Amino acid sequence: MTDYSILPALVDERLSGGRVRIDLDALKSNWKKLAGMTPTSKTAAVVKADGYGLGVEQVVSALTEAGCETFFVALPEEGVRVKKQAPSAQVFVLEGLFKNAVATYAEADLTPVLGSIENIELWASFWHERGSRRPCAIHVDTGMNRLGLRVEEAKEFVLDDSRRNSVTPILVMSHPACSDELNHPKNAEQVAAFNEVRSLFPGVDASFANSAGIIGHKDFIFDLSRPGIALYGGEAIENFANPMKPVVTLEGRIIQIRRASAGETIGYAATHTFTRETKIALVAVGYADGYLRSNSGFDMRTKGTAPAKGPVGYLCGREVPIIGRVSMDITALDVTDIPEQELEKAEWVELFGNNIALDDAARAAGTIGYELLTGLGARYSRTYISSDKRD
Ligand SMILES: *Cc1c(COP(=O)(O)O)cnc(C)c1O
């Protein structure tokens, strides 16, 4: 059950320019589906960045009900929030130990993912001084050059008994760089390196797979998998049918329908010139809400090739193109083809959700679903849908 006492106040839908619907039943069903795809591996959930923008308390609460007991966050601040919501869960902090915050990891019972010798020494000495020990995870970099010991460093570390025995790792992990491309040669290289690393830590659980790993790479599956984006309905692998249920719907409020004549322009920089008598829907969502400016309609002045499918909204059963520039608080759509009687009743335009896939909306803006979700603005009202009536 979500602990609402620790949540920021939700925005009243009557006062908001956009509304987000978050289907917690779909989220739970996606977690169970991913867990079912890898029955020999335990399935965690990555809930960094406020649960990919959906609200970490609600996400953790729903996933706990679905059976998830292990969470990954990026930052200690996020870990503290997850622990408040799910006190008995194991919470790993991917970005390791922050120097002046070690006591907070201890108090909140967070498990740091140690990705450098300095981090390992910091954790070891903190507990040595207290005559105690706590588990940690060890991150090894197998080819991404982000966080993690180099493979040679990991080997040196395990050969040095006093260092190896100074900490109690319960997980050894690495992260794939190219899992969203099924045939990228780096995938096999990294798995080979990870198999070597894993053998240095006998008896310690191993973890390599993210969402794409679970869905598309059998050889990425070890003891624990770490899905993120697929839980939230996003596409994990490019050009691969998305097997997940959509979780998030974003709709913008229509604040005005106006008419313009052929030859007039719309919006900043007058990038779009009307070629016919046009009905325009003005929607109260803009780049200040994370609805990216790159969602602007094709700029006719650049005279380049229009993208195959530009940014669109969905209204009264059809797609309606975004026209002109997305501004801070307003986005315009061409709704000329919607019959007048239907348009009169319309109040909200879908920007992504059940009719426009999150990742199609992202592609139209030149980005990925992850960025649209984690950028969902603070001005939206939010509704959480759950068949669980106990709340
Ligand atoms: C974000 C992240 C994940 C989750 O990745 P998805 O592609 O969202 O499934 C897993 N592991 C690490 C280390 C991450 O940073």
Left, alpha or beta for 131 (phi > 0: left; psi -120 to 50: alpha)? left
Q: What is the pLDDT of residue 340?
A: 96
Mean pLDDT of 323-343: 96
Question: Taking a C-beta distance cutoff of 8 angstroms, is the pair 212, 226 a contact?
Answer: no
Domain ranges, ordered by start, for the chain: 38-232, 248-385
SS3 assignment for the chain? CCCHHHCCCCCCHHHCCEEEEEEHHHHHHHHHHHHHHCCCCEECEECHHHHHCCCHHHHHHHHHHHCCCEEEECCHHHHHHHHHHCCCCEEEECCCCCHHHHHHHHHHCCEEEECCHHHHHHHHHHHHHCCCCCEEEEEEECCCCCCCEEHHHHHHHHHCHHHHCCCEEEEEECCCCCCCCCCCHHHHHHHHHHHHHHHCCCCCEEECCCHHHHHHCHHHCCCEECCCHHHHCCCCCCCCCCCCCCCEEEEEEEEEEEEECCCCEECHHHCEECCCCEEEEEECCCHHHCCCHHHCCCCHHHCCCCCCCCCEEEECCEEEEEECCCCCCCEEEECCCCCHHHHHHCCEEEEECCCCCHHHHHHHCCCCHHHHHHCCCCCCEEEEECCCCCC
Q: How far is the CA of 345 from the centre of ligand 1 (A)?
A: 42
Q: Give the Cα separation of 326 and 109 in Å (integer).
A: 44
Report the 10 Å Cβ neighbour count for 6.
10
For residue 139, pLDDT beyond 90: yes
Q: Average pLDDT, stretch 46-52? A: 98
Which atom belonging to ligand 1 lies closest to the Cα atom of 227? Answer: 9
140, 169 in Cβ contact below 8 A? Answer: no
Q: Which atom of ligand 1 is nearest to the CA of 226?
A: 10
Q: Residue 390 pLDDT > 90, yes or no?
A: no
Tell me, using a 6 A CB cutoff, whether residue 46 lines ligand 1. Answer: yes
Index of the ligand 1 atom closest to the CA of residue 48: 1
Q: Which CATH superfamily is domain 38-232 in?
A: Alanine racemase (3.20.20.10)
43 has a pLDDT exceeding 50: yes
Task: Provide the whole-model pTM.
Answer: 0.94
CA distance 106 to 119: 14
Q: How far is 268 from 132, CA to CA, in rounded Å? A: 62
> With bands split at pLDDT 50, 70 and 90, how would you rate the model's confidence at 4?
low
Q: How far apart are CA 224 and CA 219, in angstroms?
A: 13
Read off the pLDDT of residues 71-96 as tens digits, 9 standing for 90 and up.
Answer: 999 999 999 999 999 999 999 999 99
Side chain identity, residue 328:
M
- Of 28, 33, 48, 83, the active-site residue reads 48
**Residue 389: pLDDT over 70:** no
Architecture of domain 248-385: Beta Barrel (2.40)
265 CA to centre of ligand 1 in angstroms:
43
Asked if residue 228 has its Cβ within 6 Å of ligand 1, the reply is: yes
CA of 230, closest atom in ligand 1:
9
CA of 378 to the centre of ligand 1 (A): 24
To the query of whether residue 48 is one of the catalytic residues in this protein, the response is: yes
- Say how far apart CA 220 and CA 176 lie, in whole Å: 9
Q: How far is CA 125 from the centre of its chain?
A: 34
Please give the Cα distance from 182 to 238 (Å, whole number). 8
Q: 20 near 248, Cβ under 8 Å?
A: yes
Give 388 Cα–ligand 1 centroid separation in angstroms.
Answer: 28
Does this chain's domain 38-232 share its CATH topology with 248-385?
no
Return the structure tokens found at 163: 């260092």
The total number of residues shown for the chain amounts to 391
Predicted confidence (pLDDT) per residue in 242-259, tens digit: 999 999 999 999 999 999
Pocket of ligand 1 contains residue 211 by CB under 6 Å: yes
Quick: pLDDT tens for 265-323: 999 999 999 999 999 999 999 999 999 999 887 654 454 555 556 899 999 999 999 99
